[in-house]
Structure 1
Amino acid sequence: MDFDGLDGIEAPEGAVGHWRPPYTLLATIGIVIAIVFFGGGFGVGWAAKPTKEAGFIVVGTQGENIARSPNVNIIRPFQPIQYNQNIPNDAVQTFDDQNAVLIPAFHVLTLVVSTLGGTNYTYSPNVLRLYVQSKYQNSQDTLAKIYNVAQRLQISPDFFNDIYAISTGLVDVFGYVRANQAKVVAGRRLLAASSDQPLAVDLAKAFIRSGLQAPELQGALGNLEPLWPQLDDLVDLVYDIFDAVRGIAAQVDDIVASQEAYHSTLEPLQGSVQPSTVEVSADLSVKVLANPYSASLIVSIVEDEEAEGAPATGAAQEPTGEQRRMLQQLTNPLPAGFIPALPAALPSVLIPTVWHIVMYSNDDGTYGPPGIEQACDMVQRMVAIANSRLAPTKFQLFIKECRNKPSYQYLVKPSRVDWLDCTATCWIYENCGDMIEPSAQDYPRTVNIYVAGDAPPSDCSGYGWAPGATDDPMYGHIGFPWATVSTSNQNSRGAYEGGAFALVHEMLHHLGLQHTYSGVNCSDADATADVPDTPITFQSVWRQPWSWRASLACSAYWNKTLSGNWDEANRQASVRVGIPSGDVNPAFDSCPNNTGSDEIANYLTYSYDVCYLALGHLTSGQITAIHQISADSNPELYAWGQYYARFPPPGAFPSPPPPASSPPPPAVSSPPRSPPPSPPPPSPPPPSPSPQPPPAAVPSPSPSPSASPAGPSCASRTQRACTCKASWNYLGPTYRDCVVVPGMESRGFFCEVDRTSGNCANARNGWWDYCTPCVSSGSTPSPPPPSPRPPSPQPPSGNAPPNCGPGAPTKTAGLTCATGLWKVTGSNITYSGCANPNRDVRGVWCALAKGQATVAGAGWDYCLDACNALAPSPSPNPNTAPGNAITYPYDKQCQRGVTGLPSTCSCADNYNIAFPDFKTSYSSQRGCTAFKETNGTGMCIVTCTNNRKANRQPYPCDCASA
């Protein structure tokens, strides 16, 4: 039988499995098709539309069906969302909710697509989902079909415990479909009929039914029958899956391109800095070399420094020669008495991170994306899981600062489209890089992580350099799209913790580790890093002809060895060093002439998240290398990281989470009882025995949801240990917490599960579960309103003296001076309110209050003009006085502004510049400066907004005359 929907994919020769067509049915169909042919012509391909309307509700209208199966479908309709446009938060939330349903299903669908496509590649589930959402964003019918089958695949709340059985069963079924599709009598001609003809669908279902009863598929049927005991239901599901993905299966080349973009084998590299030839005047040109990065003016609030003061370390030790060399490289000296260990000792290293979460403004005055207010909680979850995976390396991460407030003005993009554009090419620094250099905190001792844009439309999970640069944060940061951090997406159990594994992967790159595989031939990819114990590998896992077996092997380990226990998976990973036995399989070997088989779960290869979850590891050689490379490339981070590990800063680690609860036993076969028709309020449904406090399990870095306290704000608990969403929509009406939906009384109490924690992986149909109402569920409050935009400062009245002290408003609306003392980093002189420590000709300025930054990302701002009258004027420039000898270089102190610069550009506040032909260089220059090499003509390095070509380049300049 030839399914034309495969768009030209040929069935393999010698395919196994046979099907005998129902000849009586064929004869009947032949007559009907003949009538259709002569009456109206043939269509463009069978089954172009779903057999049922998208979003139909299957609630078990036949009572006997409900009684026979404990698993019932409550299917939500698909809602088309133009996610790449400026849309309100509620539309984005709908898109996110639908994503949360699709993500688990694609763990299975990717295997189906690869099987139907007959390709050697088994795509990453997340890559395939992103590809489908981007490819079909204007063809919502395909997405509606996929959304429908995604819910039906998750009919059981134990989906993640059954995923191996489901996957292997469907791989066998669709392998049979592909092998036998060409063996149906007159199949090609028959199935060219219009999809509006029901008998063509009937024939396809007859073929599937016959196959499911064939001896070859009895093993598959045994895997699938417990979830779909009614053969008709299983036949319908298989057919609808085929109808949903058949066109996708043929798009091998396009999906491969998307996979390579998601997991780029080439990290973006910092280009070597070359001198520019600058025309200073009509008769003078000079070569100028601009340092790509000089730290902008850095200020600190004194009370914050005191709070983070270094504790005493005891009597000083005498450092060895190697330790002394490490100490000499530090810009920030360590507290007296603390001597960092050498990398050979594999010391504990605690790395500070600063997270910059970019948001956007909505037309209604709110900010997006939805969940931005909880972003720092999401980051904490992501870091906690990553730490369990990094524990064997002796490296750990802590959140020094997480910025997700609009008072950090550089984090706010004017619209959703502008925000999405930040990751249009994956790399945040390309389209939104203006903010990185001025906003980077404590660099390079601290790892700065920027989160912006979304996926889709972005098609990557994150990026970093190996190792991260220490002389320019533009090439020494880590970047992620919002989807990687959001608990509605990759930072969740539903995504097999893909967000945490992206963080682990990119952090290991930042610390110096390379990929374990070669993209060219069977060569030792990480030999340059002196890693001797990773097997030689050609290409990443997904490119291998055995990739589908590797994916299933990881699922088998997850289901059979780990019993689907998230906490146990993290516990084992936290002590695992070297290649585990479950990741040693001679069948998985891309370089059979070399020693060892491919690793399918090394954090530095590109594999499947289920493999990292079940068997994730690093070798001892990689662990040794990461210490040596980070000590050599970033001694500031490595030495101070040891200090932080011994004396953790306050709040470096959150309080231990409560013990994770084991899932309750499966529901009994009968549905929940219907509630009584009249008050008092109906009793909770009893699909399973009344829940008792479950036994405690090993604490998890990603704690299972804990019960909310009773009271006005309590949230009901679901049957499978999740929490009900406070407000949710079903078929139009909005419901709160745990309810009985009118017209669906036979279902009893149910609700949409709350995915905010990222830990709920037990939803039915991917979104709902039975629940027990909490005492005050009817008065569950609405979510808190979004943070208001900061008000503009009120101008001082004409008679009142200007406020120039602590807390004074600055020139930028919504920003204020620090309320305490502040100082310029590197100086011990303190200031209060507005001051001019560097004699800036543009006037007085101040350190901003904690939690604020300018649009450019700076932690300081100029004070109101009225404050300048209260401060002493800068001394006149001696180089401009008649008769005085000129000393170069000197700041021209252009009080009326600077001319000669490109549009949107200004002279940098701090830059280094060199003149190669003169063999001279100058550091810490600012503003338009006259140099001897330019014959006294002004020159500066510029910083620009939306002008990437000119940014950080040298330009001649002069002071404006008026």
Structure 2
Amino acid sequence: MWANQGHAFITWDLMVPAGYNGPSLYYGGSRVLLHELFHHLGLLHPFGPGNDDDDAEGGSARSCSDDDYVSDTPGMLGSAYSSNFYSTAVAYCMERFWETYGGDWEATYARWSGGLGTPQADMNAWADSCPTKAGYDLLGNYMTYNTPVCFAALGHFTRGQAEMAHYVTAELNPIIYAWGQYYAAVSPSPPPQSPPPPEARIDPCNVTQRSCACKQSWDFYGDTYSSCSVLPGNEGLWCEVLDQTSCPDCAGNKNRTVPCVRKCSGTEWMCKKRGPRPPPPPPLPPSPPPTPPPPPPRAVPDKCKVTSNGCKCRNTWQYNGKYWSGCASPDGDKRLWCQVEPSCPDYGYDSYLFYCDRSLTLDSCRVQPVSISQTRSRADPPPAPPPPPANAISGSSSSQPPPPARKQPSSRLPPRPAVGVNTSRAPPRPRPPAQQPRPPAAQQPLPPRPAAQQPPPSPQNLRPPASQQPPANDRPPPRRRRLRQQESEQHGGRLSRQQQQQH
């Protein structure tokens, strides 16, 4: 699932009710989809870029460092899955969802849509893999890994994560971001719909951990038990499965005459009002002192913001997993180049990388990777969405809202589209801001973040061959896929299509 490469892929069984997206598994498939989409929008796991193992991305071991660069997520050594408090977390989330919330899915949907921030119930001192760092491990953050019931009970994004997703998307895909903000502001709300039928309620005290129904009365070594019960000498609750043939828990039980007894989904406290309970959380510690102000951002000279054919470089662009600003050389090319803004006359889907002036150097442009981080730079929160247009286009028969007109962007995020443009023409592409925005500052340090998928191997670092270096008139090299005899006549100043794909 290479969400950081421009697409998110999940298998079909994650999204069907009979698979992982039904109430028996707490609609875990939809949470996986949300997790992957926000990787695509720029978020990392709270515990780092790897997949919750000791071989994190780049070969580095897990640590308590600030791995996701979001200011209000805590330092986490790993997810709850790999922690020493996992069993406590499962029992706590089960009790929270079934006892505190009564297993009510309508109330769960309301909690999920009710705002940003870590809920108080997800601040537990017993869940702290980095005790020297502020905050506690997040059990229900959508960007971490945990058992599905924890997301049903505690699911959330932090405000810093939402702001980071806005910032990264606005920087790297300003056209889509501007259109999204535009339609979010002017599109009418959908008509009210009749309420859906109530969700089927699954009683955890009458099903196994794989949601197989229990017998209401069953015998085990001469003793009779009812539904989920305590078996002497065993931890937790157990029951005999009602129908072995339809229960995956009993797939290994070849002799159907032998009872299939499996562990129940509910806990002793939840079902019998006795047994171990998670310890109550102690009072929260005071907030840590504010972090010192970060160093000022690197200033890019004006001469390093344009290509040799006069097109403006993107303020922030990505290559091979790193971010760059203005003219740079991520692949080691002796001549600097950049990704240009869509306003460039020669811009196209396969033509967006252009060389900069050959006199520029790494030193003269102060080239270095750009850090997109709330914990390394400060900025104001993103502006409010644009207001709906005052009136529509006169005489237009289109039912769609008018597309945005090109207008000068603010110094923070891409410009908001305006009305008054002929809807029969392709919408203009809003330009990114002239100055590099910085990710928003955090409210206060809080708990953890979710896991990301292992990124694919880096593409080959190809650079234009010597045969395609620009001629004496300083025009950039022609596209490789054109015939050589046509190159010098038809094209100049662009990297080849193959190079575009590599870059």
> TM-score, with normalisation over the residues of structure 1?
0.22
* Structure (1 or 2) with the larger CA radius of gyration: 1
Larger strand share, 1 or 2: 1
1 or 2 for the larger relative contact order (CA 8 Å, sep ≥6)?
2
Larger helix share, 1 or 2: 1
> TM-score, with normalisation over the residues of structure 2?
0.40
